[in-house]
Structure 1
Amino acid sequence: MTQADVTPLQENFPPGFFNAPPKAAAVLMPLIRKQDGWHFLFIRRSQHDKDRHSGQVAFPGGQVDPGDRDSHATALREAHEEIGLQSHAVDVLGSLNSYRTISNFEVTGVVAQVTSAFTVSPDPREVDRVFTIPLEWLANPDNLERRPRLLHGMQQQTDVLYYRRYDNELLWGVTARLVDSLMKSL
């Protein structure tokens, strides 16, 4: 399936799937310039038995704290906590539409350009690996597909975006939707 064949996904969680309003969250989508072009910086989350997103590829980010003034502040704080990226080393370019996760978070993507060198220092409680994927690879429609996925504990399926594996990492779900959303807007 090519990217042209992939129509925008609608939130299609069945009525009653969630028993509470979504919790606000934000992720930083850091763009880094390398010799071969622009890359997104990703993390692979650490393994935790009670974390529904354990071991998954993601952007640095998390739940909005009461002291965060907005989604930009949340994304910048979380990126600093998770990988050591300080706010003075990035220029925030803007925000994308929010998407609801199966774990009931409303996630806002905050796109930023890394403007200064920084030393990656992942917090091992939250991050197993930090890596990048070239935008050129992400823009290739042959690397993106939609697959049906059974909703946890239900007999209903939902459509989910998946990128093909890159460097043995699988980018899918809300993270893939955020990337696809930005790639389509470029």
Structure 2
Amino acid sequence: MTAPANDIDPLASQPIFDPEAVPHDPAFVSTEARGTAVAADELRPSAIRHRFASPPSWRPELRADMRVLYPERAQRVASVLIPLVLHPDDVSILLTVRTAHLNDHAGQISFPGGRVESTDADAIATALRETQEEIGIPASGVDVIGTLPEYLTATGYKVTPVIGFVKTPLAPVLDPFEVSEVFEVPLAFLMDPANHERRVVDTGDAQRTFYAMQYSRPDSGVSPRNYFIWGATAAMVRNLYHFLRADRARPASTIKS
């Protein structure tokens, strides 16, 4: 989601605060406050597909970042792909690490995506095009199953999250200008609010909150690494959690594989 040259703001890539140093919200501790994990049966590909085909009545928890940094900017329409990677025994979410020199969200963890272009038919076309440009996964390799509500980022992007299944084996080809790394996080980990954090930051004019998830990649032939997912990306994950958890009276076991 790189801004063109005429949108460059020398301050945009500078973080206002260190998100990892921000204290936790003491009110976000109990299971009642956090919520309960999405059941394993509801994380099967067939159950996820069924949920998007027949969505429940639900309301996203988050619609926008804690504040818009540049209110004078016109909102810029964009979309991202939330890639659900299908493995034989589980599903994971693919994320990217943005390069440090970008103008917006530099060095942060995000989903592949970017601004809508005039040649894009819709938000889905944008997400698929950007995914191919950023990490080399073609549109033919993504099975789109639905979208989530729009989300307004701090930098003024109005983003549509597009959900799609991606089969393995993956052979990502990274755009070195935009993406420094890709990695996967098990969907079950991200859909368990025991792994969600809520942080409280004093921005001077008010106390504001944001969500975060910390993930440590296990040593499985790849060097261990810690990832801090926060901001708009964490908010979209949190909304996906609420979508998959909504109307849990419907037994997931009634959905056939």
TM-score over 0.5 (shorter chain): yes
Q: Which residue number in structure 2 is paired with residue 60 of structure 1?
A: 112
CA drift of 1:9 comes to 3.7
| 1:151-166 superposed matches below 5 A | 151=203, 155-166=205-216
- Alpha-carbon distance between aligned partners in 1 of 2:62 and 2:163, rounded to the nearest angstrom: 21
Question: Structure 1 114/157 Cα, relative in aligned 2: closer, same or farther at 3 Å?
Answer: same
Tell me the residue number matched to 2:228.
170
Q: CA RMSD in A?
A: 2.2
1:24-173 aligned at under 5 Å gives the runs 24-48=77-101, 51-115=103-167, 117-151=169-203, 155-167=205-217, 168-173=226-231
Identity of aligned residues (%): 35
State the distance in 1 between where 2:202 and 2:152 align.
16
Spell out structure 1 runs of 4+ moving beyond 4 A.
none
Distance 1:2 1:71, change over 3 A: farther
The alpha-carbon distance between structure 1 residues 120 and 25, as it changes in their structure 2 partners (threshold 3 A), is same
Quick one: distance in 1 between partners of 2:173 and 2:63?
A: 36
d(CA) in 2 for partners of 1:164 and 1:44?
Answer: 14
User: Shift in Å at residue 145 of structure 1?
Assistant: 1.5
Q: For 2:197 and 2:158, how far apart are their aligned partners in 1?
A: 23
| Amino acid across the alignment from 1:27 | V
Q: CA deviation at 1:177?
A: 1.1
- Which whole-Å CA distance do the structure 1 matches of 2:134 and 2:114 have between them? 10
Distance (Å, rounded) in 2 between the aligned partners of 1:25 and 1:4: 34
For residues 179 and 209 of structure 2, the distance between their equivalents in structure 1, rounded to whole angstroms, comes to: 27
User: Alpha carbons of 1:4 and 1:32: their partners in 2 closer, same or farther (altered >3 Å)?
Assistant: farther
- Is the alpha carbon distance of 1:10 and 1:88 closer, same or farther for their aligned partners in structure 2, counting shifts above 3 Å? closer
Report how far residue 20 of structure 1 moved. 3.1
Partner secondary structure for residue 114 of structure 2: strand
- State the 1:166 CA deviation: 3.1
Aligned-pair CA distance for 1:6: 4.6
Q: For the Cα contact (< 8 Å) 1:45–1:57, is it kept in 2?
A: yes
Change (3 A) 1:2 1:80: farther
Tell me how far 1:148 sits from its aligned partner: 1.8
Hey, what's the Cα distance between the residues in 2 that align with 1:108 and 1:90? Answer: 16
Please list every run of 5 or more consecutive structure 2 residues that lacks an aligned counterpart in the other structure.
1-28, 36-60, 218-225, 245-257
2:184 and 2:239 map into 1 onto residues whose CA distance is: 18
What do residues 133-167 of structure 1 show as CA deviations (whole Å, max 9, x unaligned)? 0011112221102112345xx53332111112333
Structure 1, gaps ≥5 residues long: none
Q: Would you say the 8 A contact 2:99–2:180 is kept in 1?
A: yes
In structure 2, relative to structure 1, the CA distance for the partners of 1:4 and 1:55 (3 Å cut) is farther
Q: d(CA) in 2 for partners of 1:82 and 1:106?
A: 19
